Amino acid sequence: MIPQLAIASLIRRPLRSLLTALGIAIAVGSTVVFLSLGEGLRSAFDDSLEGLGPDIQASYGAFDATSLGSVPQMPLSFLAELEADAADYGVARVTPVLVYMRGSLAAASAFVFYGIPVDTDLHRLYRDFALLEGRGLAERVPETRDDAVGTVPIVGDALVGEQAAMRSGIALGDVLRLNPEAAFEVVGIAVADGGLLDNAILVPIEPLQVALGAEERLSFVMLELEDPGRASVTAERLSEAYPDLGFQTRGDLSSVFARAVRVTDVVRLGISAIALIVGGIAVANTMLMSVFERTREFGVVRAVGARPRFLVGLVLLEALLLALAGAVVGVALGFVGAAAINRMAFDVIGLDVAIVTPRLVAFAVAVAAGMGLLSGILPAERAARVPIAVAVARE
């Protein structure tokens, strides 16, 4: 009986019920979108790290999520030391890496350059590496060319990831300017599993060091082990031998990015909480107005024998139905919002950064239901406390 009365009460006030449910839907939808970004970032990081071949990464000092965008800090002397000690630690290959992020207001002009030795076996560095067009990196003599802008100093080859090429309209033979003194000619388009290469531009490390004025510095050193199963043990041994360096296994790198994502989760959850509180206030306001308008009705119900808990259940159920209706619409809005974000992100970085998971949907619906029940407690108690004589006599 209570469900029928609750539904009938909401239907009698369609505009108010609709607007309240819409407020909840917007709050739930924003929560789904914000939290889906965390799910998407976790998935993107995991996929990228799984596609990275080396077993251990060496950085100068502790590695954190900001290290990729920092200025190269590792002295080049550490490379020679690691190569000399490689056999003692079961290291099969040592690969120096220089990372440079060229930002731009235009997504098509923002690139991530990875400088590596030209003789690097990319099939070992990237999982399922494949050339789609052209060739790989090779040694070349620097040259100059003239174009509409002026003289272009070409200092090396460039191997471009598929997504970066599609996003920026890059083709074989194009010239990518790093700065006025250095440019790279595109000689190949490549793809690899995990997405890390897809959004990068590989160039020879020596010309990149010269162009950046970092001839004596590196960003990282990649270590490939003879026995990958001993990565954690080897990382600990290397950390003792090289206290100035940080050594991270794939699991360590994943943990670093996971911590960074968790920090952003707190921020997104805080923003979502504000929206949910506003939605809860809307439900409480609607239910208070409903109780005020139906005081006489409640008095008649009490006069014919209904107990106070009957009215409490009725009002709470109405609040819960409003919240759940808003949650259903909100989840649908969340899917639409996540799809829109992914479409924009794919054009910029070639990755889906928002994923709406079943766990996220269940969390959003549960929060909406809890919010509805909490918002209905005060109106329900007020409905149950009104004296029968006062309620019946009320016009």
pLDDT tens-digit map of 295-343: 666 666 666 666 777 777 777 888 888 888 888 888 999 898 888 887 8
Q: What is the mean pLDDT of residues 280-291?
A: 72
Claim to verify: residue 78 and residue 175 sit in the same structural domain? yes
Which of 181, 145, 140 lies closest to 157, judged by CA? 140
Claim to verify: residue 306 and residue 352 sit in the same structural domain? yes
User: Pairing mode, if any, of strands 220-225 and 91-102?
Assistant: antiparallel
Does pLDDT of 260 surpass 80? Answer: no
pLDDT at 186: 93
Claim to verify: residue 74 and residue 218 sit in the same structural domain? yes
- Residue 52 included in any domain: no
Which residues face 60 on adjacent strands? Answer: 245
What span, in angstroms and rounded, lies between the C-alpha atoms of 277 and 59? 44
Which of 140, 146, 123, 125 lies closest to 186, judged by CA? 140
pLDDT at 248: 82
Which of 233, 215, 231 lies closest to 223, judged by CA? 231
pLDDT band, residue 69 (cuts 50/70/90): low
* The last residue of a domain, from among 220, 243, 266: 243
pLDDT at 159: 93
- Residue 55 included in any domain: no
For the chain, how many structural domains are there in total?
2
For residue range 17-42, what is the model confidence (pLDDT) as tens digits?
787 778 888 888 888 888 887 777 66
- Asked if residues 154 and 186 have their Cβ atoms less than 8 Å apart, the reply is no
What span, in angstroms and rounded, lies between the C-alpha atoms of 298 and 314? 10
Q: What is the mean pLDDT of residues 175-197?
A: 82
Q: What number of other Cβ atoms are within 10 A of residue 89's Cβ?
A: 18
* The last residue of a domain, from among 219, 243, 267: 243
pLDDT at 284: 73
Highest mean pLDDT (candidates 128-137, 192-201, 368-377): 128-137
What span, in angstroms and rounded, lies between the C-alpha atoms of 260 and 370? 29
DSSP element (H, E) containing 180: none
Token pair in block for residue 26: 């917007």
Does pLDDT of 205 surpass 70? Answer: yes
- Residue 165 included in any domain: yes
Q: What is the mean pLDDT of residues 158-167?
A: 85
DSSP element (H, E) containing 10: helix 2-12
Q: What is the mean pLDDT of residues 362-388?
A: 77
Claim to verify: residue 67 and residue 206 sit in the same structural domain? yes
Claim to verify: residue 238 and residue 289 sit in the same structural domain? no
**Mean per-residue pLDDT of the chain:** 78
pLDDT band, residue 202 (cuts 50/70/90): very high
pLDDT at 158: 93
* Range of weakest confidence among 60-64, 344-348, 364-368: 344-348
- Cα 233 from chain centre: 31
- Residue 201 included in any domain: yes
Does pLDDT of 344 surpass 80? Answer: no
Claim to verify: residue 100 and residue 205 sit in the same structural domain? yes
* Range of weakest confidence among 128-137, 241-250, 281-290: 281-290
Q: What is the mean pLDDT of residues 156-162?
A: 90
Claim to verify: residue 35 and residue 66 sit in the same structural domain? no
pLDDT band, residue 105 (cuts 50/70/90): very low
Tell me the residue range of the domain where 184 lies: 62-243
Claim to verify: residue 160 and residue 263 sit in the same structural domain? no
Confidence (pTM): 0.61
- Residue 33 included in any domain: yes
Does pLDDT of 46 surpass 50? Answer: yes
pLDDT band, residue 107 (cuts 50/70/90): very low
Burial class (CB in 10 A: 0-12, 13-18, 19+), 101: exposed
Give 293 or 25, the one with higher predicted confidence: 25
Which residues face 96 on adjacent strands? Answer: 221
Which of 204, 270, 208 lies closest to 34, judged by CA? 270
Q: What is the mean pLDDT of residues 187-212?
A: 83
- Residue 327 included in any domain: yes
Compute the 3-state secondary structure of the chain and give helix, strand, coil in percent, each to the nearest 5.
Answer: 60, 20, 20
Claim to verify: residue 97 and residue 24 sit in the same structural domain? no
Which of 34, 33, 23, 17 lies closest to 276, judged by CA? 23
- Residue 98 included in any domain: yes
Does pLDDT of 49 surpass 60? Answer: no
Q: What number of other Cβ atoms are within 10 A of residue 162's Cβ?
A: 20
Token pair in block for residue 363: 């969390």
What span, in angstroms and rounded, lies between the C-alpha atoms of 222 and 50? 14
pLDDT at 392: 52
- Asked if residues 273 and 28 have their Cβ atoms less than 8 Å apart, the reply is no
What span, in angstroms and rounded, lies between the C-alpha atoms of 65 and 260? 6
Please provide the DSSP assignment of 190-218 as one string.
EE-TTSTTTT-EEEEHHHHHHHHT-TTEE
- Residue 95 included in any domain: yes
**Cα dihedral 225, 230, 231, 233 sign:** negative
Claim to verify: residue 156 and residue 189 sit in the same structural domain? yes
Claim to verify: residue 389 and residue 333 sit in the same structural domain? yes
- Asked if residues 376 and 311 have their Cβ atoms less than 8 Å apart, the reply is no
Q: What is the mean pLDDT of residues 164-189?
A: 86
Claim to verify: residue 132 and residue 80 sit in the same structural domain? yes
End-to-end Cα separation, the chain, in angstroms: 26
